[in-house]
Chains A and B, each alone.
Chain A
């Protein structure tokens, strides 16, 4: 079982804002990173170290955290944002990695 907990599915109307959350004890000590994965493709890093975007990621993607919860926010969701989103961090020992179970985002 995953040590990071995500809602299995979330939906958002086109152009609206959606927040995807990730909860876990280790998030009190380690930053969460967020990955987007579309069917048949490799994951793509969209947010790292709480609220940093790699080059090429649109600024509608942002991250935040509070206590043991990390969040990914998409402001003005687009059709191409429909994907699975995974949070990732270290476990409590710091030596192992953990993923959330993933959130399937549907853009209506």
Chain B
């Protein structure tokens, strides 16, 4: 059974850092790209960024709103994807989800974690 579990969320002051983890199980982690999304209170889904599989270079892409502040990495041996968030702003307050990206005629997200809450406030 595929499972994704986010952790590491919490309350953090503006300007500080936080690292989220997405622990995966039930599939060959290294074969997939992993994405991060977020959802601010009462708002819609927003893509944050993704990391391609090592077979596709292991490169990353980010949304303009987080580029330069957030970094995605992964550890295939631990089957964990990370989201390092630096210089946090109050507008980064959201539930953060990780998801597995699969290609089946299109790039889709077939499994999601339950999300972890990040609150940026002084």
Q: Does B61 contact A (CB under 8 A)?
A: yes
Q: Give chain A's interface secondary structure class.
A: strand
CB nearest neighbor in B for A32: B106
Q: Give chain B's interface secondary structure class.
A: strand
CB nearest neighbor in B for A95: B61
- B114 to chain A minimum Cβ distance, whole angstroms, is 6
Evaluate contact between B47 and A42: CB separation under 8 angstroms.
Answer: no
CA–CA, A102 and B44, complex, Å: 6
Q: Which residues of B contact A88 (CB under 8 A)?
A: 45, 47, 109
Q: Which residues of A contact B106 (CB under 8 A)?
A: 30-31, 33, 48-49
Interface string of A54-91 (1 = CB under 8 A from B): 10000000000000000000000000000010101010
Q: Size class of A's contact patch?
A: 20 to 34
- A39 to chain B minimum Cβ distance, whole angstroms, is 11
Evaluate contact between B44 and A101: CB separation under 8 angstroms.
Answer: yes
Interface string of B106-117 (1 = CB under 8 A from A): 111110111100
Interface residues of A, Cβ cutoff 8 Å to B: 2, 30-31, 33, 35, 37, 41-45, 48-49, 52, 54, 84, 86, 88, 90, 95-102
Closest CB pairs A-B (n = 5): A49-B105, A42-B112, A97-B47, A31-B106, A102-B44
